[in-house]
Structure 1
Amino acid sequence: MVVAFEQELSVHSRTNTGLVIDVLEQQFGDRCQRSAAIRQQHAHTTTWLPNQPPDAVVFAKSTEEVADIVRICATHRVPIIPFGTGSSLEGHVNAPEGGISIDLSGMDRIVEVNAEDLDCRVEAGVTRKQLNSYLRDTGLFFPIDPGADASLGGMAATRASGTNAVRYGTMRDVVMGLTVVMPSGEIVRTGGRARKSSAGYDLTRLMIGSEGTLGVITELQLRLNGIPEAISGGVCPFPNIEAACNAVIMTIQCGIPVARIELLDELQIRACNTYSKMSLPETPTLFLEFHGTEASAREQSELFSAIAEDLGGGPFVWETEAEKRTKLWTARHDAYWAAFTLRPGAKGVSTDVCVPISKLAECVEETRRDISDNGLVAPIVGHVGDGNFHVLILVDENTPREIAQAEAFIERLNWRAIQMGGTCTGEHGIGQGKAKYMMKEHGNGLDVMRAIKQSLDPDNIMNPGKIMPVS
């Protein structure tokens, strides 16, 4: 039934798409584009999933304009694909049924900052770096850091997190309210500025992680944090992955309020040394950061150092000087690009899973054996403080055997995480790439998700082909 419905939509929308584009060109002029280059830029470009461009791209400037675009598309049942910066990794911005891509990057106003209440309101196209630059003189900062300078609307849509998640949480924890354009074109505001509420269904959390399948996020009310008085950070080498993972587990179980704790395996360290001109020992390494007062940051660093020493790691050398810490974390954020030095000319396929912290060492070790047994070049990095790690498989796209090996490895990795009580994705989201794991992870819960989708979007025009398996 679902497949037949989607096939019907495809035929119907193709019939009307030309008409819709004509109307949008009349209303938006040069901000409605149908050139091949722009359309391809607004489809998936970050990994090996095929590029499936929309039929046109409209550059919106306000919530009202988004609502107008959605109403026009809804009238003719033409698909809509929201677009922020295009940094997602699982085909979220692809248009498998064609349709209209709504580019929200021009909606980049910081509407208000309420410093006394530690919150702000922004349009969906504002990026995390833009917001933190704006906040610099207020003594506040926005803590969610996925690495890429993603748009905040896209980060909410994919329930992003990143290096600070172990202390500050994910987008689920910092979004207080949203403005959303629903599939009918109606504008809805969810949540508010109060720190808590027990009034009705939590529509804000429903929209976070919905990947544009239930509506288009156009504004966000965000929780902010005070910039810590002191920050200390550094690196700590370990003799093996198991020791590094056990250090993470003990750090969390001891209640040390670590702000960031990142794992890089020896292959990734080798790449970072080459790319970022560093000289770290090529062994499994933890990158850490502690926030607090000068005394508490120092105490946290010393406590971790003792844990590392007990497990055969160290020495843990930490820095309080901002410039040195920035260089260190820049190398961590450049790990994706650094990995390509391991195999120039290869294509990178990035995937992530998340498991309970007690299963972290076991899952990472099994994954490393899997990589070795199959002769893959695949460095591991992870936001391991919450059990989340990433694998970047480097493959020759022109060698079918390598493609098949990588696909099989990703499938085994996802099943492994789910069987350990984890999830097929800690932060990349589902999109197209991980839809086939949804039934295994959620069981009958997937039927509830489908019911919500069909209730809010009966014509299936909102980012079709994402999250829900098509068969």
Structure 2
Amino acid sequence: MATPNGQTGSDTSAREAGLKQLQERFHNRVSQADAVREQHAHTTTWHPNQPPDAVVFAQGEDEVVDVVKICAAHGLPIIPFGAGTSLEGQVNAPMGGVSVDTSAMNAVVSVSPEDLDCTVQPGVTRKALNTHLRDTGLFFPIDPGADASIGGMAATRASGTNAVRYGTMKDNVLSLRAVMADGRVMTTARRARKTSAGYDLTRLMIGSEGTLGIITELTLKLHGIPETIAGGVCCFSSIEDACNATIATIQCGIPIARIELLDTAQVIACNAYSKLNLEEAPTLFVEFHGSQAHVEDQVRQFGEIADSFGAGEFKWESEPEKRNALWQARHDAYWAALQMRPGAKGIATDVCVPVSRLAECLAETIADIEESGFIAPIVGHVGDGNFHVLPLVDMDSANEVARAERFLQRLAERALDMDGTCTGEHGVGQGKTKYLVRELGDPAVEAMAAIKLALDPSNMFNPGKLFPFGKIPGTVPDGRTTK
């Protein structure tokens, strides 16, 4: 069992009693097997794998309530777990405790086509939801790439390739239910599209990274499947030209659905991994949604803008299979990049800046990559000013790891200097706590800490995440409360 530093014998006894009670309640749906525990901590990032003491596979809201009550009574931390695709250590268990796996809570509770909404359990994945919705003519647009769970997407405020047109999770969740630290279930809102009734508790929970409670149900906005979808690729002679074409597109108000940037290194990787034949140059993947006439007009306007920035030949794909293959290659960019340095670990990170500063931020970042000597492909949801960098690092080299850490710090600070954020969509987790005060200021972080302690006074939910050391009163560096 993982034992927190400074834990007393009585603490250990209480935890063992709590785990025993969970076993008695859930039987074979509690696992303490090493492989299962490690699977429920981080394996796809460079953060060390910190497994929980046990994993509980919950099958309903009432079972989540029981887990919370047992853990609260015995001082066991709780780490909510969806599909495990978060990238900043959100599902690690630095203090041990219990991982609550909600993947079996995967029912689509209801669909209301006339209201353009649906209600789902948190374990439903985005692909499964859209498969379920297909015959209704509706779809859920948030697409972070990985087949993440809807609950996890809400907890990390996910966005992805469609966000430039459809917004992020905060814009597409009408209400949710969550089990709080006292075991009660909170409903944050009704299904109405607007409300002025009280605090916006829905958005308080969205992006809370499992630190306030466990989401057990969500009501989502849906959108009509577009009549016409057109997409394709075009390359540019420089990153600056590609970015400036993006900026001009956004400033002209063209309602583009997706506009994604791949730098030259990432294009080379995708060509090799996904068997594409793109020109090895900075490239935009674009997609337009709407009626036939509106899409044709958007394509024309974008083409004129791209031409003014020296774009190469457009390659349009009207056949769904070929268009989907392009977007699958974009979603496989992480795996493609790893092949550029076999054996190295990819350190996935992201920042976001005002779109007017995007070209400047990317140019400085590319110069930093070249000076640092890293292979570090770049992809970006550039319509939002959000981009991802993936340095490929030999984790057995202390010198290289240290250089990578300095590079990541410069990247985050560069974004903050440009009035941006240290994370556009990955969240804070364990990896970016040190930037929170600089980004938001002490009053904002202390307000968040006050909310955290008001809702979770024993710091039971996901300790060691989100908050910099010292911002949760009565905690030690690993995030454990001392009260």
**What's the TM-score bracket when you normalise by the shorter of the two chains?**
over 0.9
Q: Does 1:303 align with 2:308?
A: no
Counterpart Cα distance in 2 of 1:197 and 1:12: 48
Q: Is the 8 A contact 1:305 1:315 kept in 2?
A: no
Displacement, 1:470? Answer: 1.8
Q: Does 1:368 align with 2:375?
A: no
**Cα distance change of structure 1 residues 113 and 404 upon mapping to structure 2, 3 Å threshold:** same
Among 386, 406, 409, which residue is 1:408 paired with? 406
Counterpart Cα distance in 1 of 2:448 and 2:42: 24
Counterpart Cα distance in 1 of 2:74 and 2:340: 49
Amino acid at match of 1:79: P
Structure 2 residue matching 1:234: 3-state secondary structure: strand
TM alignment of 1:220-239, pairs within 5 A: 220-239=218-237
Displacement, 1:158? Answer: 0.2
Tell me the alpha carbon deviations over residues 300-344 of structure 1, each in whole angstroms, 9 at most, x when there is no partner. Answer: 111111111111112222222111111111111111100012111
Among 387, 390, 394, which residue is 2:388 paired with? 390
Amino acid at match of 2:300: E
Structure 2 residue matching 1:112: 3-state secondary structure: strand
Aligned to 2:185: 187
Counterpart Cα distance in 2 of 1:11 and 1:449: 32
Aligned to 1:160: 158
Displacement, 1:44? Answer: 1.0
Cα root mean square deviation, aligned: 1.2
Q: Does 1:437 align with 2:435?
A: yes
Among 325, 333, 348, which residue is 1:350 paired with? 348
Displacement, 1:402? Answer: 1.0
Among 140, 148, 153, which residue is 2:138 paired with? 140
Counterpart Cα distance in 2 of 1:178 and 1:345: 42
Amino acid at match of 1:255: G
Counterpart Cα distance in 1 of 2:188 and 2:8: 31
Amino acid at match of 1:250: A
Aligned to 1:176: 174
Structure 2 residue matching 1:433: 3-state secondary structure: coil
Counterpart Cα distance in 1 of 2:10 and 2:406: 36
Counterpart Cα distance in 2 of 1:13 and 1:443: 35
Amino acid at match of 1:466: K
Amino acid at match of 1:461: M
Q: Is the 8 A contact 1:272 1:278 kept in 2?
A: yes
Tell me the alpha carbon deviations over residues 152-196 of structure 1, each in whole angstroms, 9 at most, x when there is no partner. Answer: 000000000000000000000000000100011111111121000
TM alignment of 1:9-158, pairs within 5 A: 13-158=11-156
Structure 2 regions of 5+ residues with no counterpart? 471-483
Amino acid at match of 2:389: V
Aligned to 1:417: 415
Q: What TM-score results when the alignment is normalised by the length of structure 1?
A: 0.97
**Cα distance change of structure 1 residues 183 and 7 upon mapping to structure 2, 3 Å threshold:** farther
Amino acid at match of 2:150: L
**Cα distance change of structure 1 residues 461 and 10 upon mapping to structure 2, 3 Å threshold:** farther
Counterpart Cα distance in 2 of 1:259 and 1:392: 25
Counterpart Cα distance in 1 of 2:6 and 2:134: 51
Displacement, 1:386? Answer: 0.4
Tell me the alpha carbon deviations over residues 383-414 of structure 1, each in whole angstroms, 9 at most, x when there is no partner. Answer: 00000000001011111111111111000000
Displacement, 1:75? Answer: 1.2
Q: Is the 8 A contact 1:160 1:428 kept in 2?
A: yes
Among 372, 375, 379, which residue is 1:381 paired with? 379
**Cα distance change of structure 1 residues 173 and 8 upon mapping to structure 2, 3 Å threshold:** farther
Aligned to 1:453: 452
Structure 2 residue matching 1:405: 3-state secondary structure: helix
Amino acid at match of 2:462: N
Counterpart Cα distance in 2 of 1:314 and 1:14: 65
Aligned to 2:476: none
Displacement, 1:63? Answer: 0.5
TM alignment of 1:217-296, pairs within 5 A: 217-296=215-294
Displacement, 1:10? Answer: 8.3
Aligned to 1:465: 464
Displacement, 1:11? Answer: 7.6
Aligned to 1:340: 338
**Cα distance change of structure 1 residues 12 and 194 upon mapping to structure 2, 3 Å threshold:** farther
**Cα distance change of structure 1 residues 19 and 287 upon mapping to structure 2, 3 Å threshold:** same
Structure 1 regions of 5+ residues with no counterpart? 1-5
Aligned to 1:3: none
Counterpart Cα distance in 2 of 1:10 and 1:168: 50
Counterpart Cα distance in 2 of 1:158 and 1:20: 28
**Cα distance change of structure 1 residues 14 and 437 upon mapping to structure 2, 3 Å threshold:** farther
Amino acid at match of 2:218: L
